[in-house]
Amino acid sequence: MQVVAYSRMGQYLQMVERRTPSVFVAIFVQVVRFQLLQLESRGATAVESAFADLDLPAEHALVRENDTRGNLDDGVADRLAKLAAEDPEKVREVFQSIADDFADQNGIPRKQIQWVDLNGAYGRRDGAGNIQLDPDFLTDPSVLLHTVVHEMEHSRQYEGMAMDPNSTTNGAGMTPEEAARWRELNQTYVRNKGDNPSTSVDEAYRARPVEVDARRAGRDFVNNLTLEELEKYL
Ligand SMILES: [Zn+2]
């Protein structure tokens, strides 16, 4: 695709140099745009089929529409916002219960949530694998509901990847085959796909399989959390 873009750019400059009538230049631009779009869609299809061969446990999507943080039920949002205003300590316990429940459901070690100022980030896993959340966002609990499950899903992914490759039993809520796929999907060459190493921005971040999957987990949790289910964490 870059080759096409580069050679067409040369032709375009020649046309400008030769003072080609602008109507022809405009048509040329349209044609090249179409060629590039075709190449892009072929590229996207190839990437998707490469991932499809890895046969992930759940659908593995590239970044696309619906890849949001999820929509929280209004009743749940109100209940948590009120609780955050009245009893901030209690609301922190709710987040801890959600994290513990996730860990128990997936057979991974529980994580003690650390509440720390993260300079505008909602949450993260630190180098030791601890879950950190920024308490500033307790005023909008829907943000942190996504984040706590997102980060716990990362814990699950890494627990799975750390499983003994010769194991024949399930762990971290996945089969040995699924764990092997995660090891494959988190190799450096996959993690860096789409990144430009000469910039300090990590362009590959959003499309990274571990991130797509963590967003899926956070989004599903937020979308499916009912008032009734929230009660079990209170
Ligand atoms: Zn993430």
Whether residues 142 and 213 share a domain: the answer is yes
**Cα of 211 from ligand 1 centre, angstroms:** 5
Strand partners, 133: 115, 123
**Assigned domain for 62 exists:** no
Q: How many domains does the chain have?
A: 2
What is the predicted pLDDT for the residue at 37? 57
**Cα of 20 from ligand 1 centre, angstroms:** 50
Q: Is the pTM of this model over 0.85?
A: no
* C-alpha to C-alpha distance for 126 and 124, rounded to whole angstroms: 6
Whether residues 114 and 185 share a domain: the answer is yes
Whether residues 7 and 38 share a domain: the answer is yes
- Name the percent of the chain lying above pLDDT 70: 73
**Cα of 92 from ligand 1 centre, angstroms:** 21
Q: What confidence tens digit (pLDDT) does each residue in 176-231 have? A: 999 999 999 999 999 998 889 899 988 889 889 999 999 999 999 999 999 999 99
Helices (H), 19-165: 22-53, 74-86, 88-106, 141-161
Whether residues 193 and 90 share a domain: the answer is yes
Q: Provide the token pair at 132.
A: 């950190």
**Cα of 15 from ligand 1 centre, angstroms:** 47
What is the predicted pLDDT for the residue at 66? 72
Q: Which domain holds residue 11?
A: 2-53
pLDDT over 60 at 58, yes or no: no
**Cα of 215 from ligand 1 centre, angstroms:** 7
**Cα of 217 from ligand 1 centre, angstroms:** 10
More confidently predicted of 224 and 33:
224
Whether residues 104 and 215 share a domain: the answer is yes
**Cα of 12 from ligand 1 centre, angstroms:** 42
Q: What confidence tens digit (pLDDT) does each residue in 64-123 have? A: 557 788 999 999 999 999 999 999 999 999 999 999 999 999 999 999 999 999 999 999
Whether residues 24 and 128 share a domain: the answer is no
Strand partners, 132: 114, 124
**Assigned domain for 115 exists:** yes
**Assigned domain for 59 exists:** no
